[in-house]
């Protein structure tokens, strides 16, 4: 029997017979390990415990806390749900049921309209299936046999999926109880680990995401190994609902979206205050780091987008128009504009690096079902920058961008992790260019001592990238900043500089954003702070609350004095009780409430009520102004 070598994360190598199962390798290492792992990463591919290893391999076992472990766990949970639905609604037809970032879903075709009560019933049936402790059996059949099986079952969606596969391909199936599904896996060994299940919602979903196809019913769910983990997750969901930026955006009068412009946000005066503060902060930090600011048009010739490659790789996401009988496109990205500025002059090696920042408005077509407040829009302002540099300067420039991102995220209190995204299928350029670019990003991360996850095949079509994923106050992650290393655009646009030997050479182009987009970052901030913005970005930093109208003059005097120091202050001079005014100010998440009555007028004081602390005592106007100015200066959170 042929032998294979398996290399473990600690560097040790073990020899096994070809065809050994992932489970048998785990058992050989330790029975305890075999009990807790869900599968393994085998030469970069995720495999279930029941799958075999047929060649020399690097093997890393995964548990539920690993991303790959969750993928296995939630994929199996989707199959458990499908079996439960099959038992309760025998006429249902099955589409697809994958694991997703937060749980799983399955798409069903049935005349029955699922209700919240149905979800409870399906959940109970799922729990019953788990207790039955089914083993998930994997088997492989020839393509024609697979087609015949699903044609006999009248499962048209499965037939269509198989017909799209190569003719010589063998098809893998997974059997769970009386439910057999077309599936590449991976899956759990059996159902017994799925101890906590919650079905969350029902939504419509077009087959294969195409609105020309039939609308199916999608059931979303989540599952865990322990009930307490499910409880914590549901509590986070409730907290997320309270923090929903769409709800808070309306309550705090920050922005709105109207049916006359779906996906095109309208910013109100208070929202513009935060937006302008973010942009001013961004501009000042870039000036400090040697960036110049540029502005490029939002409409440019169609020919430009052919030259850049966006026409071939991004056309479906673009908007078009016609001017003087010629085709134009509304820009989905800012980079070609910066390239045209570069080409407008001659550059020596002494001029590089050139660092140009642009708060550039871009438009991208998103399907209406994907739109989500400020998080997914059709027009947004990218905090872009493009750096044109010598090959020898690339690593230092990358490290400086990483430092800037780290500084900015720390200001807002975000922790983050980094992902390195490699060459996608629809890419431009040579293998050598991609290897040089990817290694350049990898080396910069290593030299900065930053741990990173490799995200295979998720780079931009013109280059690999580093993505920053921010973690907010309730543990959710958001992809914001990105750094892309690009050898393609300089080639396509024939960008050159003159080197010290008077020869023309090609510069390297670095694309990067820090916030990602102003709109989305503002949405993230609303949810991160639950609308309770730090004083330096709060639209209203303090509100003066006179106890009665005879103290209004003093209230407005305080307002004027604070405004002269650049602070944002309002007065609530309504004929309402002071308790009511404080409650209203709290609902508006205003950081400071300044109560004024007779004693305050006599001694030129303010009684200070702080947003999350309540009454913190009396201050002279001068001392209070000094305190709040210090918070603004230090950007205190």
Question: Active site residue: 243, 270, 386, 559, which one?
Answer: 386
What are 59's strand-pairing partners?
42
Phi, psi at residue 84, to the nearest 5°? -60, -45
Question: Active site residue: 465, 520, 568, 581, which one?
Answer: 465
Q: Which of these, 498, 464, 506, 508, lies nearest to 482 by C-alpha position?
A: 464
What are 384's strand-pairing partners?
358, 513
Distance, CA of 437 to CA of 465 (rounded, Å)? 9
Sign (positive or negative) of CA dihedral 306, 312, 314, 318: positive
Distance, CA of 40 to CA of 196 (rounded, Å)? 23
Sign (positive or negative) of CA dihedral 633, 526, 467, 11: positive
Query: Is residue 593 within 8 Å of residue 614, measured between CB atoms?
Result: no
**How many other CB atoms sit within 10 Å of the CB of residue 9?**
10
DSSP-derived pairing of the beta strands 103-109 and 93-94:
antiparallel
Residue 69 CA to its chain's centroid (Å): 20
Name the packing angle between helices 518-528 and 269-288 (round to 10°): 110
Question: Active site residue: 50, 382, 393, 433, which one?
Answer: 382
Sign (positive or negative) of CA dihedral 591, 596, 602, 607: negative
Told to judge if 386 belongs to the known catalytic residues of this protein, a careful annotator would answer: yes
Told to judge if 363 belongs to the known catalytic residues of this protein, a careful annotator would answer: no
Question: Active site residue: 218, 364, 423, 512, which one?
Answer: 364
Question: Active site residue: 181, 245, 286, 335, which one?
Answer: 335
Query: Is residue 256 within 8 Å of residue 249, measured between CB atoms?
Result: yes
Told to judge if 364 belongs to the known catalytic residues of this protein, a careful annotator would answer: yes
Told to judge if 187 belongs to the known catalytic residues of this protein, a careful annotator would answer: no
Q: Token pair for residue 351?
A: 């001029």
Told to judge if 306 belongs to the known catalytic residues of this protein, a careful annotator would answer: no
Told to judge if 335 belongs to the known catalytic residues of this protein, a careful annotator would answer: yes
SS3 category, 11: coil
Residue 32 CA to its chain's centroid (Å): 36
CA-atom Rg of the chain in angstroms: 29
Question: Active site residue: 181, 384, 472, 486, which one?
Answer: 384
Sign (positive or negative) of CA dihedral 281, 285, 287, 292: negative
Told to judge if 467 belongs to the known catalytic residues of this protein, a careful annotator would answer: no
Q: Token pair for residue 363?
A: 């438009």
What are 190's strand-pairing partners?
135
Question: Active site residue: 245, 511, 581, 589, which one?
Answer: 511
Q: Which residues are catalytic?
A: 335, 364, 382, 384, 386, 465, 511
């Amino acid at each position: 029997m042929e032998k294979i070598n398996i290399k473990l994360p600690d560097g040790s190598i073990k020899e096994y017979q070809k065809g050994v199962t992932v489970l048998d390798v785990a058992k050989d290492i330790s029975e305890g390990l075999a009990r807790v792992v869900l599968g393994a990463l085998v030469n970069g591919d995720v495999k279930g415990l029941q799958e075999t290893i047929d060649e020399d391999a690097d093997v890393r076992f995964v548990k539920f806390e690993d991303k790959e472990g969750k993928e296995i766990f939630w994929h199996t949970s989707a199959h458990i749900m499908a079996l439960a639905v099959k038992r309760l609604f025998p006429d249902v037809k099955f589409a697809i049921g994958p694991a997703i970032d937060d749980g799983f879903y399955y798409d069903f075709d049935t005349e029955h309209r699922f209700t919240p009560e149905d979800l409870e019933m399906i959940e109970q049936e799922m729990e019953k299936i788990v207790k039955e402790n089914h083993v998930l059996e994997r088997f492989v059949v020839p393509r024609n046999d697979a087609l015949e099986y699903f044609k006999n079952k009248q499962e048209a969606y499965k037939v269509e999926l198989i017909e799209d596969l190569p003719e010589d391909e063998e098809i893998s199936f997974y059997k769970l109880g009386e439910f057999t599904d077309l599936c590449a896996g991976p899956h759990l060994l059996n159902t017994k680990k799925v101890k906590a299940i919650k079905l969350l919602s029902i939504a419509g979903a077009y087959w294969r995401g195409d609105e020309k196809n039939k609308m199916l019913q999608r059931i979303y769910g989540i599952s865990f190994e322990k009930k307490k983990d499910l409880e914590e997750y549901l509590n986070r969901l409730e907290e997320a609902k309270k923090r929903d930026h769409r709800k808070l955006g309306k309550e705090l009068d920050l922005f709105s979206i109207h049916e006359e412009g779906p996906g095109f946000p309208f910013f109100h005066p208070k929202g513009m205050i935060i937006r302008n503060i973010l942009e001013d902060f961004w501009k000042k930090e870039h000036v400090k780091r040697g960036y110049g600011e540029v502005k490029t048009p939002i409409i440019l010739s169609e020919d430009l987008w052919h030259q850049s490659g966006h026409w071939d790789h991004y056309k479906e996401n673009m908007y078009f128009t016609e001017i003087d009988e010629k085709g134009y496109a509304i820009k989905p990205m800012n980079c070609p504009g910066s390239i045209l500025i570069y080409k407008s002059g001659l550059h020596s090696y002494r001029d590089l690096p050139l660092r140009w920042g642009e708060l550039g408005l871009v438009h991208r077509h998103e399907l209406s079902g994907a739109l989500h407040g400020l998080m997914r829009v059709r027009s947004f302002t990218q905090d872009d920058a493009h750096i044109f540099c010598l090959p020898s300067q690339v690593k230092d420039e990358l490290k400086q961008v990483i430092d800037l991102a780290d500084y900015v995220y720390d200001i807002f209190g975000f922790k983050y992790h980094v992902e390195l995204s490699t060459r996608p299928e629809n890419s431009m350029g040579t293998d050598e260019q991609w290897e040089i670019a990817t290694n350049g990003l990898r080396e910069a991360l290593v030299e900065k001592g930053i741990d990173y996850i490799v995200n295979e095949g998720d780079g931009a079509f013109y280059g690999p990238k580093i993505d920053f994923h921010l973690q907010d106050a309730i543990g959710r992650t958001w992809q914001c900043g990105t750094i892309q290393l690009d050898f393609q655009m300089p080639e396509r646009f024939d960008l050159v500089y003159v080197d010290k030997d008077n020869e023309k050479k090609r510069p390297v182009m670095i694309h990067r954003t820090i916030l990602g987009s102003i709109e989305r970052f503002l949405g993230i901030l609303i949810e991160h702070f639950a609308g309770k913005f730090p004083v330096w970005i709060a639209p209203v930093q303090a509100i003066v609350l006179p106890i009665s109208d005879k103290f209004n003059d003093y209230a407005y005097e305080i307002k004027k004095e604070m405004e002269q120091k650049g602070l944002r202050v309002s007065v609530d001079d309504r004929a309402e009780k002071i308790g009511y005014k404080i409650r209203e100010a709290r609902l508006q998440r205003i950081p400071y409430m300044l109560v004024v009555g007779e004693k305050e007028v006599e001694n030129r004081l303010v009684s200070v009520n702080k947003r999350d602390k309540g009454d913190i005592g009396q201050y002279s106007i001068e001392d209070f102004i000094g305190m709040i100015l210090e918070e603004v200066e230090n950007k205190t959170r």
